[in-house]
């Protein structure tokens, strides 16, 4: 079951599960391991990231709006991350050590964004 009140560290933990911490492949992505460093990465820094330089313009997180949060669109494989522009993230073809989020994990991310991305 996904948590009702996810907080920022839950999101970071999830990303570190989807892309293992010792996995070097992520360095080849245009965004590298954007959720990792340099530590301590704050909630405000994470939420204010844009994805313009990663191939899709927009906000990483639009608090209250999963449907315009590229984090959620990417993890759920929603357009343009449905293969039309980019694959669902993490790109498991480019990085076989990574895995895609489960339904529960996606719901956690969605709930966090709907709750205005609490720290």
Asked if 70 touches ligand HEM (CB under 6 A), the answer is yes
Residue 19 CB-density burial (10 A; 0-12 exposed, 13-18 middle, 19+ buried): buried
Rounded to a whole number of angstroms, the minimum distance from the CB of residue 47 to ligand HEM is 12
Only one of the segments 2-10, 38-46, 49-57, 109-117 lies at the binding site for ligand HEM (rule: CB under 6 A); that segment is 49-57
Task: Out of 7, 12, 31, 114, name the contact with ligand HEM by CB under 6 A.
Answer: 31
**Phi and psi (nearest 5°) for 50?**
-105, 160
Gap between the terminal Cα atoms of the chain: 21
Only one of the segments 4-12, 39-47, 48-56, 110-118 lies at the binding site for ligand HEM (rule: CB under 6 A); that segment is 48-56
In order of 42, 74, 81, 84, the CA distances from 87 in angstroms are 27, 8, 5, 8
Asked if 76 touches ligand HEM (CB under 6 A), the answer is no
Could you tell me which of 26, 2, 18 has the C-alpha nearest to residue 100?
Answer: 18
- Rounded CA-CA distance 80/105 in Å is 20
Asked if 25 touches ligand HEM (CB under 6 A), the answer is yes
Binding site for ligand HEM (CB under 6 A): 15, 18-19, 25-26, 28-31, 51, 54-56, 60, 70-71, 74-75, 86-87, 89-91, 94-95, 98
């Amino acid at each position: 079951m996904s948590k009702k009140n996810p907080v920022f560290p839950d999101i970071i933990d999830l990303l570190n599960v989807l892309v293992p911490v010792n996995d070097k492949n992520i360095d080849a992505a245009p965004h590298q391991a954007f959720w990792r460093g340099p530590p301590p990465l704050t909630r405000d820094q994470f939420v204010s990231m844009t994805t313009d330089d990663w191939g899709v313009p927009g906000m990483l997180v639009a608090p209250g709006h999963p449907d315009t949060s590229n984090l959620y669109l990417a993890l759920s494989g929603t357009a343009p991350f449905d293969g039309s522009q980019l694959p669902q993230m993490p790109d498991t073809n480019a990085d076989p050590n990574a895995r895609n989020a489960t339904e529960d994990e996606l719901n956690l991310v969605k709930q966090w964004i709907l709750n205005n991305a609490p720290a």
